[in-house]
Amino acid sequence: MHEASLVHPVSAQWDWQHEGLCRTRSPELFFHPDGERGAVKRAREERATALCHACPVMEQCRAHALGVPEPYGVWGGLTEEEREQILSAADVRSVG
């Protein structure tokens, strides 16, 4: 296989972000302010994840968030806690 066929432009890895519905919203929808808790936090996360579930690049965003892993905010329809649970479960499976 020719080496050039293995090289992809870096922009190709990130082009999906241009299609994200989150680009049309305030970052405060996806990232909680200091001290936010309880019902207020859940309501904000529900609004953010609802937008994510309508987004054409939700799967790419989710894969990015789990692969990096992104520690903060709602990404790919997953909250910080949901991503942590998924990654913790994957760690347990890889060890066991």
- Feature table: binding site: 22, 52, 55, 61
Annotated binding site for [4Fe-4S] cluster: 22, 52, 55, 61
Beta strands in 1-96 (DSSP E): none
Distance CA 49, CA 32 (A): 13
Distance CA 77, CA 71 (A): 14
Distance CA 25, CA 87 (A): 27
